[in-house]
């Protein structure tokens, strides 16, 4: 039998801008699709064992056939198993038949092309190793020119991957010409792809070729199409890292300056990213003249997106330019970003407050923070935008370790208190989550006097969602404050939540108890929690009696067999006689839940009779859950 691979039927046409190497298309390098009847596809004839009845290779034939199936999903599945097909065909037929076929069929759904681009990056050994890796370039070149960005990006990623497997000679003979073709393609799609390939081939080619590569990159940096300039700007820093220092100064700086003053803000903001890489490459004495004018301009750019990028990269910029320039230039720039008119910029800058302060030169750190940064931080605490306040709350506690005990108590504690009472739950969460670093600086006593009253106040807030938020932080808080302090100050709160009038609070309080037991251990639970929980079994309110059962469900595993059998089980069994059906069917559910913790003797002698009695209850739900428990616990 023979299984020919031919073009999949009825799917013609190409993406606009799809081009391949000129040898495969028209004189301009853009391929024009042939009409279906005139297209001749390469045939892969897969010979299979016939005479001896060996059909083990039949699945391969099916995969090959599916490459041209009408169904997109089948084609996609087949592409994902391309390595299996290549292994079965062997390296030579993969090179001479499968790859030309794949190159010629790059007219497909984007998801199929994406899978193909990914597969080809791992194909080196399947075409015969590094010696033949250049055979993978034609299909990847075609994929690097399609319209869909994710496909192009994946093709570029695969090209970068296989570029390292080319020998220096092959790189110049095969890879570098591909980069040039992409860089001078008619459509912007190929030119954007070229931007990602310069840095991988530059270090390993001759100086003549290096000069050509630099020229191509210069051309793309001033391309008419913003998308191409954007791609070039995004790779500027990466390209600068592989260049010799003299060319960084002569070529890259002028490109950086041009891109940083581009008319499109999407290009300018990418130049800010490149600034970090460029600044790390230059000697300190050149930074002031070559980089700082452009950086100052970016920090005051008319577009908030560019200022946002400066704020976002601020810590990296600070490390790159060193302490002197930080003191003279970056401190005022950072102040301006913290006071920016756009909330997004303020939030990005607020996020960097701790890092920026940590990286300030030690001799002047405290002075700079107290006189320049802290006044801005105080304003941000009462900012109108919740994202800004939240970003600040996530890092502000870290300032206490930098400023020390006295400054924390005098200047930072009032800010923490204000944030603990903020209406935005995320701000409160961020403060509570980081209490441990303040605790280290000022000690537990000071912390309890200043911040805990605010936490207790929130725990009793009239809005149930506020109470809920505090419950969720309680295990975190308990871990930071320790068991003694917790018992003294917060235990009664946790128990009060169990009888809250809102079910969501009671439910969260139950989960909270389980987490506390996991943190503090079974002995603590036995002495502190279990007696109070079991006491609620006699509460006149049936909802509170049900909470007892929910707590027992949650605590049984954490407390272990001994406490469950001796203390909790008798209470559950006693509640099976409750007047309220809801309580009785929850008894059945509880017995089912704690059953696996109990030993077989307790199950047979104590649990089984109660469940059998409940299984004959007048209430349908009680009956149902009792029978389910008997079945699950295998007591029938």
Q: Which residues of 533-565 are buried (b: 16+ CB within 10 A; e: fewer)?
A: bbebbeeeeeebbbbbbbbbbbbbbbbeeebbb
CA distance 34 to 563: 80
Q: How far apart are CA 24 and CA 32, in angstroms?
A: 10
**What pLDDT score was predicted for residue 620?**
92
Angstrom CA distances, 167 to 172, 176, 315, stand at: 9, 12, 39
Looking at the predicted structure, is the pLDDT value of residue 21 above 60? no
For the record, the structure tokens of 401 come out as 């370790």
Q: Could you tell me if 142 and 106 are in contact, meaning their C-beta atoms sit under 8 angstroms apart?
A: yes
Largest CA distance in the chain: 95
Q: Average of pLDDT values for 39-48? A: 39
- Consecutive H or E run containing 207: helix 207-221
Q: In terms of DSSP H, where are the helices of 322-373?
A: 323-325, 331-338, 343-351, 353-358, 365-368
Model confidence at 221, pLDDT cuts 50, 70, 90, reads confident
- pLDDT higher than 60, residue 44: no
**String of DSSP letters for 536-586:** GGG-SSHHHHHHHHHHHHHHHHHH-HHHIIIIIHHHHHHGGG-SSHHHHHH
Is 67:61 a contact under the CB 8 Å cutoff?
A: no
Residue 13, token pair as written in the block = 């046409």
pLDDT score recorded for residue 176: 85
- pLDDT at site 107: 65
**pLDDT of residue 249 exceeding 60:** yes
Which of the four pLDDT bands, split at 50, 70 and 90, describes residue 587?
very high
Tell which wins on pLDDT, 449 or 294: 294
- The answer to whether the beta carbons of residues 576 and 613 sit under 8 Å apart is yes
pLDDT digits (tens, 9 = 90+) for 468-486: 878 877 887 787 777 887 7
End-to-end CA distance of the chain: 61
Distance of alpha carbon 374 from alpha carbon 534, whole angstroms:
51
Q: What is the pLDDT of residue 64?
A: 66
Kindly tell me if the per-residue pLDDT of 16 is higher than 60.
no
Q: Which ranges in 69-167 belong to alpha helices (H)?
A: 72-80, 82-89, 91-93, 99-104, 110-120, 137-143, 149-163
Q: For the residues 5-14, what does the mean pLDDT come to?
A: 37
Q: Please check the confidence at residue 42 and state whether its pLDDT lies above 70.
A: no
The number of C-alpha atoms within 13 Å of 290 and in the hemisphere containing its C-beta is 22
pLDDT for residue 200: 86
CB 250 within 8 A of CB 211: no
Average pLDDT over residues 182-201: 87
* Torsion 366-367-368-373 (CA) sign: positive
- Residue 421 has a CB neighbour count (10 Å cut-off) of 13
Average pLDDT over the chain, rounded to an integer: 80
Is the confidence at residue 466, as pLDDT, over 80?
no
What pLDDT is stored for residue 396 in this prediction?
85
Separation CA 626–CA 584 (nearest Å): 9
Please report which confidence band the pLDDT of residue 48 belongs to, taking 50, 70 and 90 as the band edges: very low
User: In the predicted model, what is the mean pLDDT of residues 117-125?
Assistant: 84
Let me know: does 357 contact 404? Beta carbons within 8 Å.
no
Give the pLDDT score at 334.
87
- 467, with CB counted inside 10 A (0-12, 13-18, 19+), is buried
**pLDDT the model gives residue 586:** 92
Using the predicted structure, report yes or no on whether residue 8 has a pLDDT greater than 50.
Answer: no
Q: What is the pTM of this model?
A: 0.66
pLDDT confidence of residue 26: 35
> Given CA atoms 50, 55, 59, 60 in this order, what sign does their dihedral have?
negative
- pLDDT category at 57 given cuts 50, 70, 90 is low
- pLDDT digit string (tens) for 420-447? 878 787 787 777 777 777 777 777 777 7
Radius of gyration of the chain (CA): 35
The pLDDT value recorded for residue 15 is 39
How confident is the model over 324-347, as a mean pLDDT? 86
Confidence of residue 448 (pLDDT cuts 50, 70, 90): confident
Task: Report the pLDDT value the prediction gives residue 588, as an integer from 0 to 100.
Answer: 93
Count of H-run helices and E-run strands, the chain: 47, 0
d(CA 627, CA 47): 63
How confident is residue 61, by pLDDT bands cut at 50, 70 and 90? low
Give the residue, 631 or 16, on which the prediction is more confident.
Answer: 631
> Which of 2-11, 58-67, 439-448 tops mean pLDDT?
439-448
pLDDT for 12:
36
Answer whether residue 11 shows pLDDT above 50.
no
Q: How far is CA 335 from CA 352, 386, 392, 417, 622, in A?
A: 12, 20, 14, 24, 66
Tokens of 269: 């903001």
Average pLDDT over residues 551-565: 86
**Most confident segment among 33-47, 339-353, 357-371:** 339-353
Q: How confident is the model at residue 60 (pLDDT cuts 50, 70, 90)?
A: low
Q: What does the pLDDT look like over 375-404, one tens digit per residue?
A: 888 888 888 888 898 888 888 888 888 888
Residue 287 C-alpha from the chain's centroid = 34
pLDDT of residue 33: 39
584 against 467, higher pLDDT:
584
User: CA-CA distance, 360 to 371, in Å (whole number)?
Assistant: 14
pLDDT of residue 458: 77
Sequence-ordered list of residues with C-beta below 8 angstroms from that of 347, at least 6 positions apart, any chain: 385, 387, 388, 390, 391
């Amino acid at each position: 039998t023979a299984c020919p691979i031919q073009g999949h039927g009825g799917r013609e046409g190409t993406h606009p801008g799809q081009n391949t190497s000129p040898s495969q298309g028209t004189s301009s390098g853009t391929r024009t699709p042939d009409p279906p009847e005139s297209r001749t596809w390469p045939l892969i004839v897969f010979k299979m064992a016939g005479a001896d009845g060996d059909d083990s290779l039949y699945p391969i034939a099916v995969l090959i056939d599916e490459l041209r199936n009408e169904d997109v999903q089948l084609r996609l599945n087949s592409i994902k198993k391309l390595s299996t097909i290549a292994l079965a065909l062997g390296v030579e037929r993969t090179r001479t038949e499968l790859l030309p076929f794949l190159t010629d069929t790059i007219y497909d759904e984007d998801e199929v092309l994406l899978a193909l681009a990914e597969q080809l990056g791992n194909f080196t050994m399947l075409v015969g190793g590094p010696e033949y890796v250049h055979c993978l370039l034609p299909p990847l070149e075609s994929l690097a020119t399609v319209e869909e960005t994710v496909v192009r990006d994946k093709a570029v990623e695969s090209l970068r991957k296989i570029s390292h497997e080319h020998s220096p000679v092959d790189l110049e003979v095969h890879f570098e010409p591909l980069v040039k073709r992409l860089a001078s393609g008619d459509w912007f799609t190929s030119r954007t792809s070229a931007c990602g390939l310069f840095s991988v081939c530059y270090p390993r080619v001759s100086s003549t070729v290096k000069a050509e590569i630099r020229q191509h990159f210069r051309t793309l940096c001033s391309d008419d199409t913003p998308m191409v300039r954007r791609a070039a700007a995004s790779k500027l820093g990466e390209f600068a890292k592989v260049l010799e220092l003299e060319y960084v100064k002569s070529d890259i700086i002028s490109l950086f300056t041009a891109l940083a003053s581009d008319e499109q803000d999407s290009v300018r903001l990418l130049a800010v990213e490149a600034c970090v890489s460029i600044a790390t490459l230059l000697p300190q004495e050149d930074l002031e003249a070559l980089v700082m004018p452009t950086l100052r301009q970016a920090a005051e750019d008319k577009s908030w997106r560019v200022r946002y990028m400066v704020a976002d990269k601020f810590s990296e910029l600070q490390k790159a330019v060193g302490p002197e320039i930080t003191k003279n230039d970056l401190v005022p720039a950072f102040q301006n970003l913290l006071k920016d008119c756009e909330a997004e910029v303020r939030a990005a800058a607020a996020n960097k407050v701790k890092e920026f302060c940590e990286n300030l030169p030690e001799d002047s750190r405290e002075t700079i923070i107290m006189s320049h940064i802290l006044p801005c931080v105080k304003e941000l605490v009462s900012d109108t935008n919740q994202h800004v306040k939240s970003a600040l709350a996530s890092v502000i506690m870290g300032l206490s370790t930098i400023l020390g005990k006295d400054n924390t108590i005098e200047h930072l504690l009032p800010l923490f208190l204000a944030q603990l009472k903020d209406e935005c739950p995320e701000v409160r969460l961020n403060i509570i989550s980081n209490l441990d670093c303040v605790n280290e600086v000022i000690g537990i006593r000071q912390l309890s006097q200043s911040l805990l009253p605010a936490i207790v106040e929130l725990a009793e807030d009239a809005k149930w969602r506020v109470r809920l938020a505090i419950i969720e932080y309680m295990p975190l808080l308990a871990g930071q404050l320790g068991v003694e302090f917790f018992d003294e100050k917060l235990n009664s709160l946790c128990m009060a939540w169990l009888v809250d009038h809102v079910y969501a609070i009671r439910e969260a309080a139950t989960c909270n108890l389980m987490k506390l037991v996991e943190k503090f251990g079974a002995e603590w639970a036995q002495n502190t929690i279990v007696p109070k929980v079991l006491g609620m079994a006699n509460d006149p309110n049936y909802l509170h009696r049900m909470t007892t059962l929910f707590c027992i469900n949650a605590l049984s595993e954490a407390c272990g067999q001994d406490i469950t059998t001796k203390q909790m089980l008798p209470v559950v069994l006693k509640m099976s006689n409750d007047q309220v059906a809801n309580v009785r069917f929850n008894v059945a559910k509880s017995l089912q839940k704690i059953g696996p913790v109990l030993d077989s003797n307790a199950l047979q002698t104590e649990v089984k009779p109660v469940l059998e009695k409940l299984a004959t209850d007048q209430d349908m739900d009680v009956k149902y859950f009792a029978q389910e428990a008997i079945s699950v616990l295998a007591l029938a």
